[in-house]
């Protein structure tokens, strides 16, 4: 497990912001809030959350990454859909009301796990934005709008061994690669890919066990950063 | 479980083609073969496989689907990446040599499960295209180029019950939705999403068991369509 | 003249649909209906009809056809404008009222004549959609909204001979190529091109005569498919 | 018939250029020449000709025309394909050799007939460019590379009367609208559209007769502008 | 200094139009007027002015310029922003009221100085459009809406010498290149670039002095074209 | 004058990188180096430098900035061209040889002066990248490839007073706004805009004097960050 850090209130303009680090992977997560919803939700009294993911040109090893001007690449699209679905699962959209949260995750340095750092850091920035909203609206705290605490970690099988929170060196050699997002104890997303080698039910069980350990560690780091009391329980 | 059909040699021009039906869901899968690989693979002696996914404007209920002229939508991008990764896992790229297989999956009628029908139907079209190649190259049969038989099915939790091969009515109400791709006995892709409701480890186990049953049924339908003897074993 | 078939009610979701075959050329034609018109027509009490044309990647011989993601190619644009103008000529837009008909013609297999098969098949799908509308509105039948029966055929000069309904082998060798669309007895579109060889007034007359014969045959096939009584006359 | 003018050598940079006027319609036609052909023609010893058509934002009545940045509109695409096919029919591609002629037709003022003015003016600019080429190559004159003289005119039925060379006021009221391109005596393109009203075989004959008269007038104007002797005959 | 000409009322459709020539550089400038403003200005009672700049394919030496279909090139973007800012500085937006002026500058022949010819010619077309507006609104003359007379000129250092109004041959050899826009006596834009060689404060002073001389000449040419009395003073 | 900081070696992957801060404005500048040049420079033995500029969605006050997917906005295009021209002026392209330097400037927090911070920070990152190159090539130091030290500052007239290094509050109220880039003592770029109010020659002189003071301060900050001895002189 690499070191994990969440630097809150990282930028001055957004409603919430966080610099999330999983080892050398660094992602700026920002949240903005608008008082309207996409047209397909108008008039239902429910809110919405959408996410976008990008990588700065200088973020990657092995040469500069071209900007996605002109078209979004497939990998970014897939990742931002995962981030959006995950974070939506943590928000009580009826409590939020007709508002849209936009979570931007911009990778400034990549070393594996950018999507999991984005989900966990995105949740920290979300908590910050919802705390400010709760204060304006007299709602106690961010937890009023939240169904629980959410984080993500990657696990994989590298040289036959289960590894948690893969860096780039691991990731590029992994036979199996799985991203797990949990809301408290429950799965929100489970995405396992065995493009270079398939996996059995037994291996699946080991991967999930390793992820659970990693998530316990990350949940604590989020609480430390946000100064959430360790005894605090999100009602669900 | 809905009725599943694979109509082989569906079109006259492509190297392989199949009309895959999962209930009312109908997908035209075609395979083309080129004697070159993308530049990042040149000179390595290995082949490549890529997939594209689309929906005809008249394929969906609830109104016409706009054509993706100008930009690919996020859902299509995500689906075609899943189809590509899955089918790549079934091909022995060194045996294939410096060639590219392009699998096109075009939905002419949608009623849930279009991505799983695309994977299973895509594999049937792939088998057809590789049979023709094997004949031209004197390689016995398609199995020379294949690591095994591949199929996909969706499972979900609807009103608290596990359901296999969800149609649209199920899918839109499902609390949890999972797509499972297996190469013979082993997992290739496992994508579970609990956007509307999370899921526990116990539920995960039930979903996987239901998928296994469904896949046994679909594997048999593929074999029937391709006239693969039931005793035939792919070497791996 | 090749065999011509129109398979009605081909798909379950669209208001009208048809699989049109001119020999090995196969086109899925679907019609959708919306209760609004483009902004340039708002408030005039008139309807509108627009058409789109596409080819599936596996539809063509001589290699896979790339998808038109990012931009529409010139040929498709030209064809869909012809289809739209032709079908519009058959509809009484005042009777239709402020509604838009969208006709999608997607070629699943191409062997010459895809634009003429699209026009004739599009009219069959249109008739089907307007029949359903007539029933909902208590208007008797589709003919309430129609100015007459419409079909299209190609004619050309190949090796000095006039040929009707050119397949790909003819089309690629033709000195002159002409597409003719008629609403009953009258011309709606006449597009002759002599890129490889010009044509005289006498040849024009022979081409038109050949087209008339072909159209008589196609009109009958449309009536058979739609079960329109042979004695029925569209009022105009 | 409106006044028709061709102002040759209109610009200093292109190989050939012409300002074509059909009444108030004014089109800048320029021709450039490159010593290579598109990849589908390489190695065949034949040349190619392609055309592009555009309208300046201030060219139209009824408000500014938006620039086609981002995408080509359907009408422009259709028109430029017509211009390209027509002009190609006048060039002997084997004599031209592996070169590409690009003809740009940019409308600076529109009052009906922009496509026919583009074809006729494009041919004048083409003649100018090929004259210069003939001189450099010691080929006598432009006629070495040409199959004959080419021009275009529109005809239509307005209030039941046949009209030749329609201005915008006519065009917008026409029941039938036809564009005719001839290479000397023979048809190259014939595009008749009866969107607002169909046409009979008799009407077709009258339209063609009117076009012939108009073309005689335009052919003479081209010869005057290019100082081609009235007795000169293009060998074909 | 090259010859400078402004041909007013160049086209029949736009509110104002001008063919501006700086030597062989020729730009068609047209102005259109709409009774609405962009959304960011709605309800403020102020007008807006925006500019677009383009080059026809046959306008340049050294080969055909590709059309900017699909994307705007960086140089054009930079130039049209300069033209827009410059012309906006000459208009009293409160007097104009909630209207938008769109100035299109289309280069038909380029020989250096296209951006300065566009600014000066754009102002002439603007004056013409505002004269017509003043007449309709009973406002006396165009000067009601204007803060003053505006023109632009380029200056540069070529082979160590200061040159005013650079043609292409000068421009491509210039060590320093500066564009200066003045509203009467005052600077509106000053853009100096020393990409090929830096410049000192003394050189800056000489360049500005040369520009002042050039602008005096151009201001007079604008007045001649628009028939503005030489004694007339714009109130500011 | 606001505080100015350059944090060198900010990221691990790029050849050079710097976090530049001008007050609350923060820009990540990264430099990558490739062993090839754009096609228009091939075979001349000279190098090239290009710049790109972007803003993260959470970087701005007054709401989220939309990503430039699909098209580059005009302001970004204009800025990145300024950055590129400026930085190119500092590099000796013949010494660099056939290599391309790409400088990416990504604003993570904006409070006025993002383009000047990008130029000055870009030069720091450039120095870092060229130091590493000099070491690999045995060239002593970065100064081998450089014509001198380069920095930029903005100056403006706010409420009639000259201000140096404008923050957003100043910038949005400024009557005149000027960006000045100097290579040592000499001007490289001078871009003054008086959209909201013109400026006189006297004001121009005061603005330039204020910029000179600001640049002295920024040059020193660059030297401190890069540990360039204060007595060191770039040969030119």
- Comparing CB atoms, the residue among F185, F187, F192 nearest residue E194 is F187
D68: in domain: no
- Comparing CB atoms, the residue among C30, C31, C67 nearest residue B54 is C67
| DSSP strand pairing (A186-193 vs A176-183) | antiparallel
What pLDDT does residue F95 have? 96
Residue B50 with chain C: CB contacts under 8 Å: none
pLDDT averaged over every residue in chain B: 94
What pLDDT does residue B62 have? 86
What pLDDT does residue A70 have? 64
Q: Do C57 and B11 touch (CB under 8 A)?
A: no
Residue pair D126/D91 in contact (Cβ under 8 Å)? The answer is yes
- How far is the alpha carbon of F12 from chain E, nearest alpha carbon, in Å? 31
Question: By percentage, how much of chain F surpasses pLDDT 70?
Answer: 98
Question: By percentage, how much of chain F surpasses pLDDT 90?
Answer: 89
Binding site feature residues of C for phosphate: 75, 113-115
Question: By percentage, how much of chain B surpasses pLDDT 70?
Answer: 98
Residue E64 with chain D: CB contacts under 8 Å: 14, 30, 32, 34, 102, 104
Residue C78 with chain D: CB contacts under 8 Å: 77-78, 81
Taking CA–CA distances from A200, the nearest residue in chain B reads B186
- Average pLDDT (C38-66) is 94
Instruction: Provide ipTM, 2 decimals.
Output: 0.94
- Comparing CB atoms, the residue among C12, C13, C58 nearest residue B104 is C58
Residue B182 with chain A: CB contacts under 8 Å: 198
Taking CA–CA distances from B51, the nearest residue in chain C reads C57
**A neighbours by CB contacts (3+ pairs under 8 Å):** B, F
Report DSSP letters for chain F, one per residue.
---EEEEES-SSSSSEEEEEEETTEEEEEEEEEES---GGGTTSS--EEEEEEEE-TTSSSSSPPPP--SS--HHHHHHHHHHHHHHHTTB-HHHH-S-EEEEEEEEEE-SS-HHHHHHHHHHHHHHHHHHHHHHHHT-SSGGGGBSS-EEEEEEEEETTEEEES--HHHHHH-SEEEEEEEETTEEEEEEEE-TTS-B-HHHHHHHHHHHHHHHHHHHHHHHHHHT--TT-----
F231: in domain: no
Residue F230 has pLDDT above 90, yes or no: no
Q: Do D28 and E58 touch (CB under 8 A)?
A: yes
What pLDDT does residue A194 have? 84
Residue C24 with chain B: CB contacts under 8 Å: 12
| Residues D60, D79: Cα–Cα separation, whole Å | 16
A69 shares contact with chain B (CB less than 8 Å): no
Q: Do E72 and D69 touch (CB under 8 A)?
A: yes
F68: in domain: no
Residue A74 with chain B: CB contacts under 8 Å: 77, 80-81
Q: Which of F7, F11, F13 to mutate to test the interface with A (most CBs of A within 10 A)?
A: F13
What pLDDT does residue D236 have? 56
- Comparing CB atoms, the residue among B14, B63, B67 nearest residue C32 is B63
Residue pair E39/D71 in contact (Cβ under 8 Å)? The answer is no
What is the pLDDT confidence band of residue E68, given thresholds at 50, 70 and 90? confident
| pLDDT per position as a tens digit, B176-228 | 999 999 999 999 999 999 877 889 999 999 999 999 999 999 999 999 999 99
B234: in domain: no
Going across the sheet that includes D25-34, the strands are D4-8, D16-22, D25-34, D100-109, D48-55
- 3-class SS of residue C163: strand
Spell out a b/e string for B33-55, using b for 16 or more CB atoms within 10 Å of the CB, else e.
beeebeeeeeeeebbbbbbbbbb
What pLDDT does residue B70 have? 63
Least confident range of B44-53, B131-140, C43-52, E188-197: E188-197
**B neighbours by CB contacts (3+ pairs under 8 Å):** A, C
- Average pLDDT (F203-210) is 95
| pLDDT per position as a tens digit, F91-112 | 999 999 999 999 999 999 999 9
- How far is the alpha carbon of D94 from chain C, nearest alpha carbon, in Å? 13
Q: Token digits for E182?
A: 């003045």
Q: Which of C194, C199, C200, C207 to mutate to test the interface with D (most CBs of D within 10 A)?
A: C194
| Residues B16, C57: Cα–Cα separation, whole Å | 13
- Comparing CB atoms, the residue among D183, D193, D200 nearest residue C85 is D193
Q: Which of D190, D197, D211 to mutate to test the interface with C (most CBs of C within 10 A)?
A: D190
- Average pLDDT (B102-114) is 98
Q: Do D193 and C189 touch (CB under 8 A)?
A: yes
C132: in domain: yes
In the beta sheet, which residues pair with residue A29? A18, A105
DSSP code of residue A199: B
Which residues constitute the domain of residue A164? 4-62+73-226
D67: in domain: no
pLDDT averaged over every residue in chain D: 94
What pLDDT does residue E70 have? 64
| Structural domains counted in chain D | 1
Query: In whole angstroms, what separates CA B32 from the centre of its chain?
Result: 16
Residues 190-209 of A with CB under 8 A from F: none
B67 appears as a binding residue in the annotation: no
- Comparing CB atoms, the residue among E30, E34, E61 nearest residue D57 is E30
Which segments in chain D show pLDDT lower than 50? Answer: none
| Residues C91, C76: Cα–Cα separation, whole Å | 23
Going across the sheet that includes A100-109, the strands are A4-8, A16-22, A25-34, A100-109, A48-55
A69 shares contact with chain F (CB less than 8 Å): yes
- How far is the alpha carbon of C236 from chain B, nearest alpha carbon, in Å? 30
Residue D104 with chain E: CB contacts under 8 Å: 56-58, 64
Residue A51 with chain F: CB contacts under 8 Å: none
E88 shares contact with chain F (CB less than 8 Å): yes
Spell out a b/e string for B71-87, using b for 16 or more CB atoms within 10 Å of the CB, else e.
ebebebbbbbbbbbbbb
- How far is the alpha carbon of E117 from chain D, nearest alpha carbon, in Å? 17
Residue D56 with chain E: CB contacts under 8 Å: 28, 30, 104, 106
- Give the CATH number of the domain where residue C55 resides: 3.30.230.70
What is the pLDDT confidence band of residue C70, given thresholds at 50, 70 and 90? low
What pLDDT does residue C236 have? 56
B96: in domain: yes
What pLDDT does residue E230 have? 83
Q: Do chains D and A touch (3 or more CB pairs under 8 A)?
A: no
What pLDDT does residue B6 have? 98
- How far is the alpha carbon of C98 from chain B, nearest alpha carbon, in Å? 17
What pLDDT does residue A203 have? 93
Q: Do F187 and E199 touch (CB under 8 A)?
A: yes
Question: How far apart, in Å, are the Cα atoms of F133 and each of E215, F52, F144, F147?
Answer: 48, 21, 10, 16
Residue F64 with chain A: CB contacts under 8 Å: 14, 30, 32, 34, 102, 104
Q: Do A108 and F60 touch (CB under 8 A)?
A: no
Q: Do F58 and A108 touch (CB under 8 A)?
A: no
B99 shares contact with chain C (CB less than 8 Å): no
- Average pLDDT (C28-42) is 95
- Average pLDDT (F193-221) is 93
| Residues B34, B155: Cα–Cα separation, whole Å | 35
A177: in domain: yes
Q: Do chains E and B touch (3 or more CB pairs under 8 A)?
A: no
What pLDDT does residue C207 have? 96
- Residue pLDDT tens, chain A, 236 long: 899 999 999 999 999 999 999 999 999 999 999 999 999 999 999 999 999 999 999 999 989 999 886 667 889 999 999 999 999 999 999 999 999 999 999 999 999 999 999 999 999 999 999 999 999 999 989 999 999 999 999 999 999 999 999 999 999 999 999 999 999 999 999 999 987 788 999 999 999 999 999 999 999 999 999 999 988 998 75
Residue D28 with chain E: CB contacts under 8 Å: 56, 58, 108
Residue E58 with chain D: CB contacts under 8 Å: 11, 13-14, 17, 28, 30-32, 104
Question: How far apart, in Å, are the Cα atoms of F57 and each of A14, A17, A52, D131, F54?
Answer: 9, 12, 9, 57, 9
C46 shares contact with chain D (CB less than 8 Å): no
What is the pLDDT confidence band of residue F236, given thresholds at 50, 70 and 90? low
The residue with tokens 């739609």 is C226
- Comparing CB atoms, the residue among D75, D182, D192 nearest residue C189 is D192
- Average pLDDT (F172-195) is 93
Residue pair F64/A16 in contact (Cβ under 8 Å)? The answer is no
Q: Where are the alpha helices (DSSP H) in chain B?
A: 74-88, 93-96, 114-137, 168-171, 201-226
pTM: 0.90
């Amino acid at each position: 497990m690499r070191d994990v850090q969440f630097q809150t209130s990282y930028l001055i303009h957004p409603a919430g912001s966080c610099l999330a680090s999983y080892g050398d992977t660094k992602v700026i997560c920002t949240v903005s809030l608008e008082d309207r919803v996409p047209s397909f939700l108008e008039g239902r009294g429910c809110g919405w959350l959408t996410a976008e993911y990008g990588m700065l040109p200088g973020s990657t090893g092995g040469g500069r990454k071209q900007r996605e001007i002109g078209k979004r690449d497939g990998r970014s699209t897939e990742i931002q859909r995962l981030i959006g679905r995950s974070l939506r699962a943590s928000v009580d959209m009826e409590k939020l009301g007709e508002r849209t949260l936009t979570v931007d995750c911009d990778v400034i340095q990549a070393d594996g796990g950018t999507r999991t750092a984005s989900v966990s850091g995105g949740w920290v920035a979300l908590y910050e934005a919802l705390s400010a909203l709760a204060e304006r609206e007299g709602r106690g705290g961010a937890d009023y709008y939240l169904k629980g605490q959410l984080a993500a970690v990657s696990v994989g099988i590298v040289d036959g061994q289960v590894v948690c929170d893969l860096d780039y060196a691991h990731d590029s050699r992994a036979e199996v690669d799985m991203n797990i997002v949990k809301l408290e104890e429950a799965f929100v997303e489970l995405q396992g890919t065995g493009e270079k080698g398939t996996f059995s039910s037994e291996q699946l069980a080991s991967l999930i066990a390793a992820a659970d350990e990693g998530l316990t560690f990350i949940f604590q780091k989020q609480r430390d950063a946000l100064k959430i009391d360790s005894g605090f329980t999100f009602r669900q």
